[in-house]
Amino acid sequence: MSRLDWRRWLPTTLAPFVAILIAAAISSIVLIGSGKDPWRAFSSMLEYAFGERTGPASMVDMLNRATTFYLSAVAVAIGFRMGLFNIGVEGQFRLAALLAGAFGAATFLDPVPGPIRIVLVIVVAMVVGAAWAGIAALLRVYRGVSEVISTIMLNFVGGSIFAFLLTEDYLGVKQPGSENVTTPILPADTWMPSFPFPNTNQRVFGFIVIAVLVGFGYWFLLGRTRFGFDLRASGMNPTAAVASGVDAKKMIIATMLISGAVAGLVGLPGLLGRDHAVTTSVAGFGFTGIAIALLGRNHPVGIAFAALLWAFLDRTRIILDLEQIPQETIVIMQSVTVLAVVVMGELAARFSRRQQQRSVGRATGETTVERPSVAVAGAGVENAREGS
């Protein structure tokens, strides 16, 4: 069967779009149910995001949000592709952002020039994220503790450490004229340069470049390296991977460390590009990342679209207030979309598998193959662990 056989790629490519249509339909039903006109809601959302007056500022904001979402989702997706569930991006990125932010503002770094300091901040964040994820990896490899549970527990522990360190006794300072405790403000030469955008004075995070690089690195690592091949093989069929010489323990540790290192970057676009200090409100992107990774089917480009879609929905929720529609409708749209994408993905994979089996059946003279138990090449992949 050729690689470009339509049975193989068409269903799985179409599935996300069908799913989004289904999600839009369900959201419309919800809106109609609460006595609102879905068409007006959607068009005012689009108007707010891309219209002449509010469009430019909205688009910058969406790009900036999507940058953060993208990094978080890639961190999750790296684990997903090998069947590891890093639910702990939340804890990893919060600790990483806090320590990197405090490090970047530390006085002993004063003689270091800004650009080098930015690099150091990024390195510290990646190391901290990887270390926190590494605990879960070690527990999994040496003590057999499921990473799902350990990363969830580590989220809570990380949250406590974050709250403990971000006090005036340790890493925090009170900003003048405010009661909020934050890390000291980064020196101005450590602020990341940003890009202008036509028709608005809002600026696009410079970190978007790094997010694109991370996406490219993710694609290259998975699709073009031996490591990536081993990783995907371990995700699709761990037994077969081990039998063909993949060191499962090493793979788990390496994957978790990489995932954690990328997770460490999640807090940096906001830190280096907008806030220049870590506040207690640096939170919540970890779970969003899981949803977006699922939505983007773990594919580097798919995740980018998913992150933009998510950012669009997040940005335009405020406009719903003007239409007297509860903002919570957006959260329902987002989660229904994720569920629809996941279910459609599974159905598409099943459909494509059956079509492939049919065609093999025809080719071998068995025309009545309904549901053979023998898996055909390329059919062993299942559900969300698979990329599109």
Partner 1 sequence: MTTQTLAPAAEAPPAVARARRTRRLLLLVALALVAISAVRIVTGATDLTSTGAISAALAAAVPIGLAGLGGLWSERAGVVNIGLEGMMILGTFGGAWGALTFGPWGGVVAGAVFGALGGLLHALATVTFNVDHIVSGVAITLLATGLARYLASFAFTDIGGGPTQSPVVPSLPKWSVPGLGWLAGIEQRGWFLVSDLAGIVRGALTELSALTVIAVILVPVSYLVLWRTAFGLRLRSCGENPKAAESLGVNVYRYKYYGVVISGALAGLGGAFLSIVAASIFREGQTAGRGYIGLATMIFGNWRPGGLASGALLFGYTDALQLRRGSESVHALLLFIAAVLAVIAVFQFRRGHRVVGIVSVALAAGALLWYFTTDQIPVEFVRAMPYVITLVVLALAAQRLRMPAADGQPYRKGEG
Residues found near partner 1 in the complex (CB under 8 A)? 30, 34, 85, 87, 139, 143-146, 148-150, 152-154, 156-157, 159-161, 163-164, 287, 290-291, 294, 326-332, 334-336, 338-339, 342-343, 346-347, 350, 371, 373, 382-385
Between CA 127 and CA 153 the distance in angstroms is 20
Which of 321, 366 has the CB closer to partner 1? 321
Other Cβ atoms less than 10 A from the Cβ of 73: the count is 34
Query: Which residue shows structure tokens 């279910």?
Result: 343
Q: Quick one: DSSP state of residue 200?
A: E
Q: How far is the CB of 274 from partner 1 (least distance, A)?
A: 25
Q: How far is the CB of 9 from partner 1 (least distance, A)?
A: 21
Between CA 291 and CA 339 the distance in angstroms is 9
Other Cβ atoms less than 10 A from the Cβ of 378: the count is 13
Which of 207, 312 has the CB closer to partner 1? 312
Contact (Cβ atoms closer than 8 angstroms) between residue 341 and residue 292: no
Which of 328, 366 has the CB closer to partner 1? 328
Which of 60, 384 has the CB closer to partner 1? 384
Which of 244, 383 has the CB closer to partner 1? 383
Q: How far is the CB of 184 from partner 1 (least distance, A)?
A: 21
Which of 152, 173 has the CB closer to partner 1? 152
Q: Which residues pair with 99 in a beta bridge?
A: none
Q: How far is the CB of 331 from partner 1 (least distance, A)?
A: 3
Q: How far is the CB of 337 from partner 1 (least distance, A)?
A: 10
Q: How far is the CB of 289 from partner 1 (least distance, A)?
A: 11
The C-alpha angle 263, 267, 268, rounded to 5 degrees, equals 105
Which of 37, 47 has the CB closer to partner 1? 37
Name the residue among 262, 232, 211, 234 with its Cα closest to residue 92: 262
User: What are the residues whose beta carbons fall under 8 Å from the beta carbon of 213, sequence distance 6 or more?
Assistant: none
Q: How far is the CB of 139 from partner 1 (least distance, A)?
A: 6
Range 60-63, long-range pairs (CB < 8 A, 24+ positions): 60/197, 60/200, 60/202, 60/203, 60/204, 61/202, 61/311, 61/315, 62/308, 62/311, 62/312, 62/315, 63/204, 63/205, 63/208, 63/308, 63/311
- Taking each helix axis from N to C end, the angle separating 300-322 and 55-81, rounded to the nearest 10 degrees, works out to 140
Between CA 149 and CA 131 the distance in angstroms is 17
Which of 247, 328 has the CB closer to partner 1? 328
Q: How far is the CB of 192 from partner 1 (least distance, A)?
A: 31
